[in-house]
Amino acid sequence: MSNKMNHPLITVDGRTLMDRPLEPPNFVVDTLLAQGLHILAGSPKVGKSWLALWLAVTVAKGKPVWNMGTKQGTTLYLCLEDSVLRIQNRLFEITEDAPDSVHFCTECALIGQGLEEQVDTFLAAHPDTVLVIIDTLQMIRPIHDATYANDYRDLSVLKRLADKHGIAILLIHHLRKEKAEDVFHRISGTTAISGAVDSSFTLVEEKRGSGRARLTCVGRDIEYRELTLERNSENVWELVADSQTQTELLGDRIVYLLSELMRDRTEFIGTPTELSERIDPVGVERISPKKVSRQILQNLDALSKIGISVEVRRSNGKRLIELRRAESDDTQGVPAVDPVDPDGALCGDLRAVSGRGE
């Protein structure tokens, strides 16, 4: 503590921060599960462990999770309420072949009593690990009173572990039986549990035994989202509906609209307000100048891949966004930017809205 007090605060001013390219979160499952600490809570026997097992195997294979890309790597599933035989039987149900990059363990130490060292050792032996699933949280907690301080302390240990190694840790947990207007208020324990994690997921069946459930998602690095899932005959949760498919991810839309804007020009220089008015003149997209600036800074790599470079600078006290098409200094033979519309059906309408052909 004394060392921290002897050092001055390291600050960044608002102007510099808003002009700085932003590093997007590192996702293990795109747009859903980022590096950090997460909790998946559900009622008893709802199928949380089946979902956890399938997730561990799918990420280890590098296959999509409900149409979302994954970062392939080693996964560790601490299945602390199961036997090796049960895990083997379940594996035969959900997959034809489990890779050697998914590991299972039915016993481990408690938090503060050796667990962190055990995980450190595993990660040292498997440096490509991207996901650790702990089923259940209660099985790794020391016995003590259920207070806010204790809940926060235990989860903070796991949060530091995830951040230290740049991995995702997913805790399987329980929901209280009593109903609540906000499903996240049903997560067992104090509010410290929800407060200490980066994302919370709740799995709630529509009707007991129906095999159909809603996965509600909220977190620091993800948009609020509801996934409707259905459990098939192999006990795999399949995606039926996704609330985000109703409105595309704003980042994808910005990339598309800018690619359309730059299709017939080599550069654009203007304020965020001018750019917003150019790509969304009628206000159909509801893209404010603030959203334009943020989404551009968060999608520099995606824009670079389609041949658009970005520079944010200041001139006469105004922030300017400078867009340039690849090889813009040589206008002869400039390759056309080929926009990829996240929703092909909207392509024609969006070209009209974005002002192409003015």
Task: List, for residues 142-193, the tens digit of each pLDDT value.
Answer: 987 879 999 999 999 999 999 999 999 999 999 987 777 788 888 888 888 9
- Statement: 11-245 belongs to CATH 3.40.50.300: yes
**What's residue 294's pLDDT?**
82
The tokens describing 90, both together, are 């379940």
Cβ-proximal residues to 24 (8 Å cutoff; 6+ apart), any chain: 298, 299, 301
- Statement: 250-353 belongs to CATH 1.10.10: yes
State the pTM of this model: 0.73
**What's residue 251's pLDDT?**
63
Among 57, 99, 114, smallest CA distance to 122 is for: 114
| DSSP-assigned states of every residue in 240-279 | EEEGGGTS--HHHHHHHHHHHHTTT-SEEEE-HHHHHHHH
Would you list the domain boundaries of the chain?
11-245, 250-353
**What is the chain's Cα-based Rg?**
24
Single-letter amino acid, residue 35: Q
Among 338, 343, 216, 201, smallest CA distance to 285 is for: 343
Distance CA 48, CA 172 (A): 7
**What's residue 345's pLDDT?**
36
Question: Residue holding tokens 């899932």?
Answer: 229
pLDDT below 70 — which residues of the chain?
1-5, 245-251, 327-358
**What's residue 158's pLDDT?**
97
Cβ-proximal residues to 50 (8 Å cutoff; 6+ apart), any chain: 90, 94, 231, 235, 236, 237
**What's residue 70's pLDDT?**
96
Tell me the helix, strand and coil percentages in the chain, rounded to 5.
Answer: 35, 25, 40
